[in-house]
Amino acid sequence: MLEIRKSEDRGAANHGWLQSQHSFSFADYRDPAHTGFGPLLVINEDRVAPGGGFGTHGHRDMEIISYVLDGALEHKDSLGTGSVLHYGDVQRMSAGAGVRHSEFNGSQTAPVHFLQIWIEPNVKSIPPSYEEKHFAPETKQGQLRLIASPDGRDGSVTIHQDAAVYATILRGDERAEHALASGRTGYVHVVRGAVTVNGTPLKDGDALKLRGEPSVVLEQAQEAEVLVFDLPY
């Protein structure tokens, strides 16, 4: 089964300092047909104006991943972590028993563009933790690069869920394929550019849900950057 989630059908919010598009129900956007896909609950595409940001607020029992596309994302949290993330950086915060954090545009002159991803953990009330890794573009070029996994293998960030997240950059005749084991589902989010996934043409912001498919096949790319999620039912 293949189900397309078109970019233009996503929820939208414009707060002046923040423009956000929601692939799944989030905040004031509610759509009973799009409340998550397995443990994948949130993909927000956020653009934050210079000097703007999310003030200190709390989370618990959630795996929160930030995938920076452009600009500088400044993070501070109650664990004492502080950093500024740029393109290629992936941040993972396990909220666990509870954590407070803020996220701001680290620039006073240029916007920051990033994806915020929430994955429901398979354990509750663990000690909160933070991790970040850099994945250079050449490590994603023409291949699927593991960026998040349950065991941190291959240099990925560690998430508390039986899920894996891959990133790839594809151009022209480049092709990538990821096998889906029995009992697994796939979710593909096109970050930018265009690509055909299992015969389905997608453009930036589009997504594809895959159930009962043996693999995820990405081809016929036009300057595409793509995230592939391997998820349990």
Could you read off the pLDDT of 85-141 as tens digits, one per residue? 999 999 999 999 999 999 999 999 999 999 999 999 999 999 999 999 999 999 999
Residues 116 and 199 in one domain: no
Spatial distance between the Cα atoms of 82 and 76, rounded to a whole number of angstroms? 4
* CATH number of domain containing 164: 2.60.120.10
Q: Can you tell me the mean pLDDT for 169-193?
A: 97
Spatial distance between the Cα atoms of 5 and 24, rounded to a whole number of angstroms? 10
Q: Which of 95, 111, 134 is the last residue of a domain?
A: 134
CB atoms within 10 A of CB 212: 10
Residues 120 and 152 in one domain: no
Could you read off the pLDDT of 46-84 as tens digits, one per residue? 999 999 999 999 999 999 999 999 999 999 999 999 899
What confidence tier does 189 reach under pLDDT thresholds 50, 70, 90? very high
CA dihedral 86, 87, 90, 95 (to 10 degrees): 50
Residues 147 and 208 in one domain: yes
Question: What is the pLDDT, as a whole number, of residue 152?
Answer: 98
Structure tokens of 196? 């055909």
Secondary structure of residue 99 in the 3-state scheme: strand
pLDDT at position 233 over 90: no
Domain count of the chain? 2
Residues 24 and 103 in one domain: yes
Structure tokens of 138? 């050449």
Could you read off the pLDDT of 2-50 as tens digits, one per residue? 999 999 999 999 999 999 999 999 999 999 999 999 999 999 999 999 9
Q: Which of 134, 159, 174 is the last residue of a domain?
A: 134
Containing domain of residue 125, as a range? 2-134
pTM over 0.85: yes
Spatial distance between the Cα atoms of 176 and 214, rounded to a whole number of angstroms? 14
Structure tokens of 117? 């991803």
Question: What is the pLDDT, as a whole number, of residue 211?
Answer: 97
Q: Which of 106, 134, 162 is the last residue of a domain?
A: 134
What confidence tier does 196 reach under pLDDT thresholds 50, 70, 90? very high
CA dihedral 140, 224, 114, 80 (to 10 degrees): -10
Question: What is the pLDDT, as a whole number, of residue 70?
Answer: 98
Q: Is the dihedral of CA 184, 144, 192, 157 positive or negative?
A: positive
Residues contacting 182, CB < 8 A, separation 6+: none
Residue 100 in contact with residue 54, Cβ under 8 Å? no
Residues 18 and 48 in one domain: yes
